[in-house]
């Protein structure tokens, strides 16, 4: 049944930024509501080992996010399984419409909607999505046991995905558009030492090749960026790992954004261009994009919101 819920602080998103904001806002007695979205726990739920979360030499991404949710709930945050379809920041209280039929009104909003996987934008990529084309090795790697896989990208995600996929694949080919990787050195070291991985430098993926009956990938056509020559690399699975774009669709026409859609905040704060609206995590960060920095910004957003609300009172 449609209902309206009012809260002092509405937190949108359940990654490290959202849960940390919820912990701090709860401890400030603001009784926050956190709406999880369609990916409860955020991006870390689609990875395995996380080795740079302070206090845990190694922790599984999904486990860490379960703990963060439990922490937020234990501090008193109300965590709701819903997705915000639209947000009206033009007047106070701010209004958010949930897919589940609930309307949320809030004195302050903390946006923590993070980022989503970027795609190459090829028609053939779209055609085979879910039928050999994926952006999540932990979700889909299992389907390629004993088969050949191609991964596109040169950052931490691409290297991590390539390494993880060697658990299933007979061979993994990493195709990168430059002659050096952006990934951390320790990850590169592991990549180069892995006998199942071949790296093809200075090439882009031009097209995903496949069969239609049944629908499935048979290879990719790659192009040498210097000579323009093309060739085919056979594979059953093609994983796109070329970065992530900020999930700012909800607010793009309402808040100032920059650098291709990242929500702009006043330097050193989480204040956006609308008073009472704060942004944290990958949604606003085109530089660091880490779990720990997102959590740090979630903390800042809750403190900024608490101070702003106190000023209004
Ligand atoms: P996200 O984790 O992106 O979460 C966004 C949240 O917003 C989700 O819960 C989503 O459901 C919600 N949401 C979006 N839209 C809506 C909406 N309309 N309504 C409601 N909710 C919404 N970082 C590290 O530090 N170490 C690592 O080892 C590491 N490994 C990674 C591995 C992979 C494969 C990937 C993709 C990323 C990795 N990162 C790692 C980066 C890290 O995951 C991100 O920096 C971090 O998760 C960002 O947190 P966030 O809270 O900003 O948002
Ligand atoms: P990223 O660091 O932005 O790297 C994206 C990679 O894809 C780059 O190598 C880029 O090439 C390539 N690329 C981009 N667009 C392309 C296109 N159209 N065609 C071909 N290649 C393209 O993204 P990410 O690897 O997803 O990482 C995102 C953030 O999460 C980073 O801050 C990263 O550190 C973090 N993360 C951390 C870990 C970890 O700590 N273990 C794991 C995963 C992610 P160029 O290099 O030429 O630009």
The protein residue whose alpha carbon is closest to atom 34 in ligand 2 is 156
pLDDT recorded at residue 1: 59
Backbone angles phi, psi at 203, to 5 degrees: -135, 150
Task: Pull the structure tokens for residue 120.
Answer: 């190459």
- What's residue 73's pLDDT? 98
Average confidence (pLDDT) per 10 residues, the chain, 313 residues: 92 98 98 98 89 94 97 98 98 97 98 95 94 90 95 96 97 98 97 98 98 95 98 98 95 94 97 98 93 97 98 91
Q: What is the pLDDT of residue 24?
A: 98
Domain boundaries, the chain: 4-116+245-312, 119-240
Residue 51 Cα to ligand 1 middle (Å): 16
3-class state of residue 105 by DSSP: strand
Q: CB-based burial of residue 245 (10 Å sphere; 0-12 exposed, 13-18 middle, 19+ buried)?
A: middle
Please tell me the pTM assigned to this model: 0.88
User: 71, 68, 75, 73: which is closest to 29 by C-alpha?
Assistant: 75
- Tokens 């990654």 belong to 15
Write phi, then psi, for 26 (nearest 5 degrees).
Answer: -65, -45
Output the CA 207–ligand 1 centroid distance in Å: 28
CATH architecture of structural domain 4-116+245-312: 3-Layer(bba) Sandwich (3.50)
User: What's domain 119-240's superfamily in CATH?
Assistant: FAD/NAD(P)-binding domain (3.50.50.60)
Measured in angstroms, how far is the CA atom of residue 151 from the centroid of ligand 2? 12
**Pocket test residue of 115, 135, 157, 160 for ligand 2, highest count of atoms within 8 A of CB:** 157
pLDDT value at residue 287 = 87
Residue 114, pLDDT score: 98
pLDDT at residue 313, as a whole number: 82
């Amino acid at each position: 049944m449609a209902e309206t819920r009012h809260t002092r602080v509405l937190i949108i998103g359940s990654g490290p930024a959202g849960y940390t904001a919820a912990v701090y806002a709860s401890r400030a007695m603001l009784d926050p509501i956190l709406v999880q979205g369609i990916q409860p726990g955020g991006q870390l739920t689609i990875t395995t080992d996380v080795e740079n979360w302070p206090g845990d030499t190694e922790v599984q991404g999904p486990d860490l996010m379960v703990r963060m949710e439990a922490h937020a709930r234990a501090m008193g945050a109300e965590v709701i399984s819903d997705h915000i379809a639209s947000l009206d920041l033009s007047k106070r209280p701010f209004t958010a419409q949930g897919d589940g039929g609930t309307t949320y009104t809030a004195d302050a909003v903390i946006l923590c909607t993070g980022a989503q996987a970027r795609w190459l934008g090829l028609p053939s990529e779209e055609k085979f999505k879910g039928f050999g084309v994926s952006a999540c090795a932990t979700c889909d790697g299992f389907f390629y046991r004993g088969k050949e896989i191609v991964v596109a990208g040169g950052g931490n995600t691409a290297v991590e995905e390539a390494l993880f996929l060697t658990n299933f694949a007979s061979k993994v080919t990493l195709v990168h558009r430059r002659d050096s990787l952006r990934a951390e050195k320790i990850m590169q070291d592991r990549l180069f030492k892995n006998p199942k991985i071949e790296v093809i430098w200075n090439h882009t993926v031009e097209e995903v090749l496949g069969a239609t009956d049944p629908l499935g990938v048979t290879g990719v056509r790659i192009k040498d960026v210097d000579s323009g020559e093309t060739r085919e690399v056979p594979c059953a699975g093609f994983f796109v790992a070329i970065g992530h774009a900020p999930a700012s669709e909800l607010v793009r026409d309402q808040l100032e954004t920059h650098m291709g859609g990242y929500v702009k905040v006043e330097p050193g704060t989480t204040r956006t261009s609308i008073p009472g609206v704060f942004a944290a995590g990958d949604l606003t960060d085109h530089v660091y994009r880490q779990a720990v920095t997102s959590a740090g910004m979630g903390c800042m957003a809750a403190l900024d919101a608490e101070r702003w609300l106190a000023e209004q009172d």
